[in-house]
Chains A and B, each alone.
Chain A
Amino acid sequence: MTAVLELHDVTKVYAAGELEVRALGGVTLAIDEGELVAVIGPSGSGKSTLMHILGCLDVPTSGSFRLAGEDVAELHEDRLAELRNRHIGFVFQQFNLLSYLDAWRNVELPLVYAGVDAHERRERARRALAQVGLADRADHKPGELSGGQQQRVAIARALVTEPALILADEPTGNLDSTSTADVLSLFDELHASGRTIVLITHEADVAARAQRTIQIRDGLVWDPDREVTRALA
Chain B
Amino acid sequence: MRWRDTVRTATEAVRTHRLRSALTMLGILIGITAVILTVGLGNGAKAEVRDQIDELGTNLLVVSPGSSTDSDGMRGGFGSASTLTVQDADALASADVAPDVEAVAATSTASVSLVAGDANWTTTLTGTTPSWQEVRSREMTSGRFLDDDDVAEAAMVVVLGPDTAEELFGSTTQAVGQQVAYDGRTLEVIGVLEALSSSEQTTSNDVAIVPQTTYAERLVGGADRDAVDAIYVKASGESTLSAAYQEAQATLLNLHGSASADDADFSIATQESILAAATEVDQTMTVMLGGIAVISLLVGGIGVMNIMLVSVTERVREIGLRKAIGARPRHIRQQFLVEASVLGLAGGLLGVVLGGVGAIVLPSLTDARVVLSAPASVAAIGVAIGIGVLFGVYPASRAARLAPIDALRNE
CB <8 Å contact, B411 and A113? no
Chain A residues near B (Cβ < 8 Å): 52, 55, 57-58, 77-78, 81-82, 84-86, 90, 92, 94, 96, 98, 100-101, 109-110, 112-115, 117-118, 157, 161
Q: What residues of chain B lie closer than 8 Å to A58, measured between beta carbons?
A: 403, 405
Known: A57-B404, A94-B411, A115-B1. A84 touches B318 (CB 8 A): no
- B324 CB → nearest A CB, Å: 5
Which of B317, B322, B323, B324 counts the most chain A CB atoms within 10 A? B324
Set B326, B329, B330, B403: member contacting A114, Cβ < 8 A: B326
* Interface 1/0 per residue, B132-172 and A, CB below 8 Å: 00000000000000000000000000000000000000000
Within 8 A of A (CB), among B293-331: 317-318, 320-331
CB <8 Å contact, A77 and B325? no
Task: Say yes or no: is B354 at the interface (Cβ < 8 Å to chain A).
Answer: no
Set B317, B320, B322, B329: member contacting A109, Cβ < 8 A: B322
Q: What residues of chain A lie closer than 8 Å to B331, measured between beta carbons?
A: 113
Set A57, A78, A112: member contacting B329, Cβ < 8 A: A78
Q: What residues of chain B lie closer than 8 Å to A57, measured between beta carbons?
A: 324, 404-405, 408
Name the residue on A nearest B325 (C-beta). A110
CB <8 Å contact, A81 and B323? yes
Task: Say yes or no: is B2 at the interface (Cβ < 8 Å to chain A).
Answer: yes
CB <8 Å contact, B318 and A98? yes
A-B contact pairs, 20 of them (CB 8 A): A52-B405, A57-B405, A57-B408, A78-B330, A81-B326, A84-B324, A84-B325, A85-B325, A92-B321, A96-B317, A96-B408, A98-B321, A100-B12, A112-B1, A112-B2, A112-B9, A113-B327, A113-B328, A113-B331, A117-B2
* Interface 1/0 per residue, B250-269 and A, CB below 8 Å: 00000000000000000000
- B18 CB → nearest A CB, Å: 11
Set A52, A82, A101: member contacting B326, Cβ < 8 A: A82
- B349 CB → nearest A CB, Å: 23
Q: What residues of chain A lie closer than 8 Å to B317, measured between beta carbons?
A: 94, 96
Chain B residues near A (Cβ < 8 Å): 1-2, 4-5, 9, 12-13, 16, 317-318, 320-331, 403-405, 408, 411
Known: A58-B405, A115-B2. A100 touches B328 (CB 8 A): no
Which of B9, B13, B325 counts the most chain A CB atoms within 10 A? B325
Q: What residues of chain A lie closer than 8 Å to B326, measured between beta carbons?
A: 81-82, 84-86, 110, 113-114, 161
Name the residue on B nearest A113 (C-beta). B326
- B163 CB → nearest A CB, Å: 66
A92 to B1, CA, bound (A): 24
Q: What residues of chain B lie closer than 8 Å to A112, measured between beta carbons?
A: 1-2, 5, 9
Q: What residues of chain B lie closer than 8 Å to A98, measured between beta carbons?
A: 318, 321
A96 to B1, CA, bound (A): 21
Q: What residues of chain B lie closer than 8 Å to A157, measured between beta carbons?
A: 325
CB <8 Å contact, A96 and B328? no
A113 to B325, CA, bound (A): 8
A115 to B4, CA, bound (A): 11
Q: What residues of chain A lie closer than 8 Å to B2, measured between beta carbons?
A: 112, 115, 117
- A110 CB → nearest B CB, Å: 4
CB <8 Å contact, A81 and B12? no
A113 to B332, CA, bound (A): 10
Q: What residues of chain B lie closer than 8 Å to A86, measured between beta carbons?
A: 326
A117 to B178, CA, bound (A): 89
CB <8 Å contact, B325 and A90? yes
Which of A78, A109, A117, A161 counts the most chain B CB atoms within 10 A? A109
Given contacts A82-B328, A112-B1, A112-B2, 20 further A-B contacts (CB under 8 A): A52-B405, A57-B405, A77-B328, A77-B329, A78-B328, A78-B329, A81-B323, A81-B327, A90-B325, A94-B411, A96-B317, A101-B12, A110-B325, A112-B9, A113-B322, A113-B326, A113-B328, A114-B326, A115-B1, A117-B2
- B400 CB → nearest A CB, Å: 10
- A102 CB → nearest B CB, Å: 11
- A118 CB → nearest B CB, Å: 8
Q: Return the 10 tightest CB-CB contacts between A and B, nearest first.
A: A85-B326, A113-B326, A100-B16, A96-B321, A110-B325, A81-B328, A78-B328, A57-B404, A57-B405, A112-B5
A115 to B322, CA, bound (A): 14
A100 to B317, CA, bound (A): 14
Which of A52, A82, A98 counts the most chain B CB atoms within 10 A? A98
Q: What residues of chain B lie closer than 8 Å to A82, measured between beta carbons?
A: 326, 328
- B16 CB → nearest A CB, Å: 4
Name the residue on B nearest A157 (C-beta). B325
- B312 CB → nearest A CB, Å: 15
- B339 CB → nearest A CB, Å: 13
Name the residue on B nearest A108 (C-beta). B5
Which of A96, A112, A117 counts the most chain B CB atoms within 10 A? A112
Q: What residues of chain B lie closer than 8 Å to A100, measured between beta carbons?
A: 12-13, 16
